[in-house]
Amino acid sequence: MKFIKLLFWVMIMFITTASFSQHKYAMAIHGGAGNITPQNVSPEMQEKYKAKLKEALLAGEEVLKNNGDALDAVTAAIMVMENSPLFNAGKGAVFTAEGTNEMDASIMDGKNLKAGAVAGVQTIKNPILGARAVMEQSPHVLLSGNGADAFAKEKELDIVDPSYFFTQSRWDSYQRVKKKMEQGDKHGTVGCVALDEHGNLAAGTSTGGMTMKMHGRIGDSPIIGAGTYADNNTCAVSCTGHGEYFIRYAVAYDISALMKYKNLSLQEATHQVIMKKLKDAGGDGGVIAVDHKGNISMVFNTTGMFRGTISNGRKPEVYIY
């Protein structure tokens, strides 16, 4: 009898250990989608982008591999890209038609569907932290403009003079576009999705918007369900592209809904939305997504999308085209 009891407990321990060993983390990031080709991105710049993408992946993985939370991983990865002038977010934000920087960001927790976002901010060094503060320290989901900047200052986030966001390359691009009176360089949004070892999903997105956008224009990035969405029952999604289309088609939520209500796989849902619905409507861009099983999808209908993945201690993988 004692032997049977001992065998029973050994089997329970084995099953528990086996189940725990199956827990895994996974993460994907993007640095924008658009007309990105080997002809307009020099080999030197390609290496710079890849190096920064790897840095962002490793920053997020540092959280995940130490049993950390998906929200913290998403925040860490996005901050790396916000602090880099390479991407259209934070330090590298593009200029509006009035020659100013207006940034948007959002974040969402898949375990409880809580979310926070800021739009049109001009002094928050890391807009993703502003979005997270709205989620965790306010009764609201979205704050905009001066109200969002003031809230961030009240919560003692890093506040900088608007001149901090000036970069010569973005200013030169702004002058070129202004001279031609056409919109361009409109992609470069950054985002991250993550699954932690507890089975929780999170997603975040940060952007400077479109070059030469109208004052006050807000795209999909701070809109929950359009540019960002996370639900532990389905997936976490971050979008990049022509924001007006992503808003109209509720792209991020649509992917989750297709999985929830039509039982599509992550790959099927992302492909249907980006390569069919969005493309047929004339919208360009892409998404990164991870589901509750750790499957990752990175789909785009443009010539390129800065992107990368990392999971379970594997080396980071980054791509451009």
Count: domains in the chain: 1
Any domain includes 44: yes
Backbone angles phi, psi at 84, to 5 degrees: -105, 135
**What is the predicted pLDDT for the residue at 10?**
37
Q: How confident is the model at residue 187 (pLDDT cuts 50, 70, 90)?
A: low
Q: How confident is the model at residue 211 (pLDDT cuts 50, 70, 90)?
A: confident
Q: Is the pLDDT of residue 184 over 60?
A: no
What is the rounded CA–CA span in Å between residue 131 and residue 75?
10
Any domain includes 14: no
Q: Which of 96, 167, 189, 207 is flagged as catalytic?
A: 189
Any domain includes 266: no
Give the chain's mean pLDDT: 91
Ranges 8-12, 93-97, 192-196: which has the least confidence? 8-12
Q: Tell me the average pLDDT across 104-133.
A: 98
Q: Is the pLDDT of residue 82 over 50?
A: yes
Q: Tell me the average pLDDT across 132-160.
A: 98
Q: Is the pLDDT of residue 6 over 50?
A: no
Q: Is the pLDDT of residue 153 over 50?
A: yes
**What is the predicted pLDDT for the residue at 177?**
72
**What is the predicted pLDDT for the residue at 206?**
98
189 is catalytic: yes
Any domain includes 29: no
**What is the predicted pLDDT for the residue at 19?**
35
Any domain includes 271: no
Q: Tell me the average pLDDT across 181-196.
A: 74
Q: Which residue is associated with the tokens 């739009």?
A: 119
Q: How confident is the model at residue 2 (pLDDT cuts 50, 70, 90)?
A: low
Q: Which residue is associated with the tokens 């002058």?
A: 175
Q: Is the pLDDT of residue 7 over 70?
A: no
Any domain includes 215: yes
| Residue 108, domain extent | 34-231
Q: Is the pLDDT of residue 13 over 50?
A: no
**What is the predicted pLDDT for the residue at 300?**
98
Any domain includes 74: yes
Any domain includes 249: no
